[in-house]
Amino acid sequence: MINAALVGIDFGTGGFQASLDELRLLARSAGAIPAALITARRRAPDAALFLPGGKTDELKSALGLQNIDLVIFNHALTPAQQRNLEYRLERRVVDRTTLILDIFAQRARSHEGKCQVELAQLHYLKTRLVRAWTHLERQKGGIGLRGPGETQLETDRRLIGERIKTLKARLDRLHRQRRTQRRRRVRNAVFSVSLVGYTNAGKSTLFNALTRAQAYCADQLFATLDTTSRRFYLSDATQGVLSDTVGFIQDLPHELVAAFRATLEEMVHADLLLHVVDASNPARREQAEQVQQVLSALDAADIPQILVWNKMDAVPEAVPELASSGAAERDAHGRIRRVFLSARTGQGLGALRGAMAEAVATAPL
């Protein structure tokens, strides 16, 4: 484990404390110990250092006092800002995007998952190659130092480009296999359901409860990266395929969304989405909205959806909006809109199965 300083700037857009809490979880998930926290309020980031000068000095002092080797920013940094900060702080600096990519790299288990994460990392690295060779670029001459900076950068870009091409070809083959499997399910009139939601909302626990599978689940961010599909049975005559997918998070890196597009297409072609929300999380509304934004970006916002408010057993006290709610809640048209349950204890699973059975019965298969 490595000691890390967490840095966040409040730009007045709301949700700042929830974002910092999430950064702590991300840091721990990556294997770092949050040893210090530096915050500030600004209208806009500093162009050179992101942080205002005084806060940068405060951060440098904290690093020396607490034996910190890593600085994690709760924001996306430009290559220049990252380079300037590392020079000023004399420590390794990573931004939120790098942190999430690192967690994905640690958690990827399947061949497809590893290819997707590596592709995302390479796309991100392409924009930051200059950081590793600034010591050569500053040398304008001298014996043995004429031109190697540019040559090395060109070589690295070419190698990265070739690797990206190889990975895309592999993922295209896997994408075609998935498309063939989906066509087979359509021909066989198999009802397809996908679990979606914010990371650590309990999707994998719910997946195991509905399918009696043993997919890996843990109380940590991004425990699931690989899409897993299993048959589920609502009755002797009613069955379908349920897919567990990667969780979303605020400011999910664009590189990851693009690299995981083939995997996420499993939900795009689903007949029904079960949008799992952690009811015990104070930021549940904001998290649900983040998921809806990603679904819209993937053209999946119009797929029929049931909100599954999970972890009801962990809600610390009566939440006003849940106080009078039963196991299920219907909209003005009589359709089940929300189901309240605990995938861990099994409370409310019957209501969810009933909602899914209704969806199957009314689906235009």
133: its two tokens:
């060779």
Residue 116, class by beta-carbon neighbours within 10 Å (0-12 exposed, 13-18 middle, 19+ buried)? buried
* Residue positions counted in the chain: 365
Confirm whether residue 155 is marked as ligand binding: no
Confirm whether residue 140 is marked as ligand binding: no
Confirm whether residue 245 is marked as ligand binding: yes
Confirm whether residue 346 is marked as ligand binding: no
Q: Is 94 in a helix, a strand, or coil?
A: strand
Tell me which DSSP letter residue 300 carries: -
Q: Are 93 and 60 within 8 A, CB to CB?
A: no
Q: Which residues contact 41 (CB under 8 A, 6 or more apart)?
A: 9, 10, 11, 12
Confirm whether residue 226 is marked as ligand binding: yes
DSSP string, 105-138: HHH--SHHHHHHHHHHHHHHHHTTGGGGGHHHHT
Confirm whether residue 197 is marked as ligand binding: yes
Q: Residue 294 pairs with which residues in a beta bridge?
A: none
Confirm whether residue 247 is marked as ligand binding: yes
Task: Tell me how far apart the terminal alpha carbons of the chain are, to the nearest angstrom.
Answer: 52
Confirm whether residue 281 is marked as ligand binding: no
Confirm whether residue 193 is marked as ligand binding: no
Confirm whether residue 312 is marked as ligand binding: yes
Q: Are 264 and 252 within 8 A, CB to CB?
A: no
Confirm whether residue 127 is marked as ligand binding: no
Strands (E), the chain: 2-10, 32-41, 70-73, 92-94, 191-197, 228-233, 239-244, 272-278, 305-310, 328-330, 336-340
Write phi, then psi, for 4 (nearest 5 degrees).
-130, 145
Confirm whether residue 203 is marked as ligand binding: yes
- Residue list for the binding site for GTP: 197-204, 222-226, 244-247, 310-313, 342-344
- Residue list for the binding site: 197-204, 222-226, 244-247, 310-313, 342-344
- Residue list for the binding site for Mg(2+): 204, 224
